[in-house]
Amino acid sequence: MRLQNILKAWFVMSVISSPVFAQDNYQLGPDSMPKADVQKGTTTHYTWTSTVYPGTVRDYWVYVPAQYDATKRTCVMVFQDGGGYQDSNGGWRVPVVFDNLIASHEMPVTIAIMINPGVVPPANANALPRYNRSVEYDTPSGKYADFLEQEILPEVSKKYNLSQNPNDRAISGGSSGGICAFTTAWERPDLFSRVVSFIGSFTNLRGGHTFPALIRETEPKPLRIFLQDGSNDQDIYSGSWFIGNQDVYAALKFARYDCKFEIGTGSHSGRHGGAILPDALRWVWRGYPARIEPPTTTPQPILNIVDTNSEWTGLYFHQTEAKRQVDLYPSTFAVDKEGDAYISLNDLRCILKVSSTEKPYTFFSDIDVTSVAMGPDGLLYAADIKKRRIVKIDQNRGDVGSIDNLPCRSIAIDHQRVIYALQDSGTIVRINGKQRTTFKTGIVNARSIQLSPDQTLLIVTQLNPSNNAWSYQIGGPKGLQHKEMFYDIHVPYTHPNSPVGGMCVDANGWLYVATEMGIQMIDQAGRVNGIMVGPERKPIRAVVLGGPNSSKMYVETTKGVYVRDTKARGVYSWMPPVKPASPRL
């Protein structure tokens, strides 16, 4: 208990109460003061030992308003650095502010969960604890959301009837706790729809400076965001806090989010935030219980592709999701002239057919397939890694022949039936009838290949690193020339070698890559312009544009196969080459 008291004081002093400057002379208003005619809620202290963050212990407090009714689902709001927020005599006074705003009906009846960051206790009397605050708060990943979802929210739900609806949930914090609030809702909008960030650390402490670009590129999410910062906030080795918050706000405005930025003159202090906490809560809860919706009209390039009126529909679900996490080879799609899609399922040893007119079914089985491609002859070609061959499959007659002694992981076929086969070594074999030409790419951990719409470029993805894809021009005396690390691919900050899956292209020359972050849409110049959020927060293993109009997007995840309407039009290499328009440079 002594350790926790020390840590509580340390967090309050170092996080919430930075040195005071003249510009920081903000005062608490009447809504932060106890009122005699307002019912008082209760605040209870607890401790928690985490498994999501192994070995960490922490204090947390639960405020329950006097109006709480156990028969009704109740709104909930989470605060990081909870020790500073739970103190009714401190700079934030969450219990007092909640009492007053709930009584005046300016926010719904809401339970507050105020949590300190975790600490691993010291190994001995001469050792320091391990302070987990930065790794929990500053890391731009979904792990803290997992901690809340798997540990804290279920634990509090044992005592209180908490709503499971993200529209009934808000999250807030200051400094690193502020960016943590945003990250949690950004990664898990199915958990939280409302965000309040004070002096948020949107700098490169652990990669938080990447958010402005991601906000501009990613398909809009159902979020409402309140930001606060002071023009005299700190400017240190990891960046400028004030500039970081301005960049995030500019990105949110660009993407047309429901957002507000309260700018003051203060330093890296909670004084301004504490003074405006009542107004921030009024704003973030305004209009409740109306549902917060994602923006539908924005200048984001992603909305040139995404149909906001369409959602993912599950078509086929794997019997055992854990088995689908085996990722030796990426899944790939092929599309025939009717728009029906075929997908290689290596670990299930089959090829699945997905049609817009019938239920998905196993098209071909008992094959260790690593890749599929449709040929201009109407036959499906599949790479059988175990039997070291490329097998040709007719829809009516089944296996109708093979190209032997060619183990490969990915194949592409052009409109003249020239086959490009990528082997595990990174070698690419070009098969033109009986003629074979071998190219040693030198690409370590090469993963999959794709032809450009005009069939003059060959695209090669890789692992370790997986944040780029290579481009070759087809032709010249060597067959493949002008190798360039050309296509940028975003990877999660905490998972830099996350696997890339299958690819496809559209009539505009855009490349679509299946990734852990979603479907990344890359323009002809090699730049990520948009990220389409995949279904059910699952990593995407394969993607293709198919259907009768080539505009339905099929994806395969660890859970199954899904479809969604888009505004794009897919092109396939068994078709005559398509020359896209030139990119904007």
* Widest pairwise Cα distance in the chain: 92
Joined together, the tokens standing for residue 468 give 């780029």
Distance separating alpha carbons of residues 34 and 40, to the nearest angstrom: 9
Helix (H) or strand (E) holding 261: strand 258-264
pLDDT of amino acid 494: 83
Do 300 and 254 form a contact (C-beta atoms < 8 A)?
Answer: yes
Question: Which residues touch 42 (CB under 8 Å, ≥6 apart)?
Answer: 63, 64, 66
pLDDT, tens digit only, all 585 positions of the chain: 455 554 554 444 444 444 445 578 899 999 999 999 999 999 999 999 999 999 999 999 999 999 999 999 999 999 999 999 999 999 999 999 999 999 999 999 999 999 999 999 999 999 999 999 999 999 999 999 999 999 999 999 999 999 999 999 999 999 999 999 999 999 999 999 999 999 999 999 999 999 999 999 999 999 999 999 999 999 999 999 999 999 999 999 999 999 999 999 999 999 999 999 999 999 999 999 999 999 999 999 999 999 888 999 999 998 876 555 545 677 899 999 999 999 998 878 899 999 988 899 999 998 889 999 999 999 999 999 888 999 999 877 777 788 877 889 999 999 999 999 999 889 999 999 989 999 999 998 899 999 999 999 999 999 888 899 999 999 877 789 999 999 999 998 888 888 899 999 999 999 999 999 999 999 999 999 999 999 988 889 999 999 999 999 999 998 999 999 999 999 999 999 999 988 887
Q: Which of 362, 356, 393, 358 is nearest to 378 (CA)?
A: 393
DSSP 414: -
Distance separating alpha carbons of residues 445 and 428, to the nearest angstrom: 13
Q: How many alpha carbons lie under 13 Å from residue 58 in its C-beta half-sphere?
A: 29
Q: Say how many residues make up the chain.
A: 585
Distance separating alpha carbons of residues 138 and 201, to the nearest angstrom: 7
Distance separating alpha carbons of residues 518 and 537, to the nearest angstrom: 8
- The vertex-99 CA angle with 245 and 194, nearest 5°, equals 35
Distance separating alpha carbons of residues 539 and 525, to the nearest angstrom: 25
Cis peptide before 465 (omega within 30 of 0): yes
This prediction's pTM: 0.94
Per-residue model confidence as pLDDT tens digits over 472-510: 999 877 789 999 999 999 998 888 888 899 999 999 999
What's the N-to-C CA distance of the chain in angstroms? 60
Distance separating alpha carbons of residues 557 and 561, to the nearest angstrom: 6
DSSP 74: B
- The vertex-171 CA angle with 165 and 177, nearest 5°, equals 155
Q: To the nearest 5 percent, what fractions of the chain are helix, strand and coil?
A: 20, 35, 45
